[in-house]
């Protein structure tokens, strides 16, 4: 799709409904100067592994929050039981992420799932505890 505008407003030249993905953007001003812009898609929330995996007894996670809002980060075993709550509350946006430590010293060896949630968005990370 090609869109052309003479000002900064996309709404004045097009309307859209639904979702779409922007793969690239090329901007050109009235002096025919062209600049290529990389588009970075950012999830509203993302769980990134920062520490060892497999781990014993603890590991580090990085919770990236792209928008201000309520954040819940829980750990579940493979049968869906919640075994830990790591975060639960309002958080400001932080694209560098919030460091979180998960200590599994009271848990049995096995696979666990970290589930981070914001309004309408979920991110998961699989962890393996080896004792």
All structural domains of the chain with their residue ranges: 45-129
Instruction: Render pLDDT for 47-66 as a digit per residue (tens, 0 to 9).
Output: 988 899 999 999 999 999 98
> Which whole number is the average pLDDT over 20-28?
57
Give CA torsion, residues 9, 38, 62, 128, to 10 deg: 130
Q: Which residues of 23-46 are buried (b: 16+ CB within 10 A; e: fewer)?
A: eeeeeeeeeeeeeeeeeeeeebbb
Choosing among 2.60.40.1930, 2.102.10.10, 3.40.47.10, 3.40.50.9100, the CATH entry for 45-129 is: 2.60.40.1930
pLDDT above 90: percentage of residues in the chain = 56
pTM of the model: 0.68
């Amino acid at each position: 799709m090609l869109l052309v505008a003479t000002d900064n407003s996309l709404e004045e030249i097009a309307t859209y409904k639904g979702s779409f993905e922007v793969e690239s953007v090329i901007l050109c001003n009235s002096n025919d100067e062209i600049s290529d812009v990389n588009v970075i898609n950012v999830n509203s929330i993302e769980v990134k592994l920062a520490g060892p995996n497999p781990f014993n007894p603890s590991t580090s996670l990085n919770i990236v929050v792209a928008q201000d809002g309520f954040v819940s980060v829980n750990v579940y075993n493979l049968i869906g039981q919640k075994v830990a709550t790591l975060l639960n509350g309002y958080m400001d946006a932080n694209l560098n992420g919030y460091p979180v430590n998960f200590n599994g010293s009271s848990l049995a060896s096995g696979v666990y799932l970290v589930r981070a949630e914001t309004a309408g968005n979920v991110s998961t990370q699989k962890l393996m505890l080896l004792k």
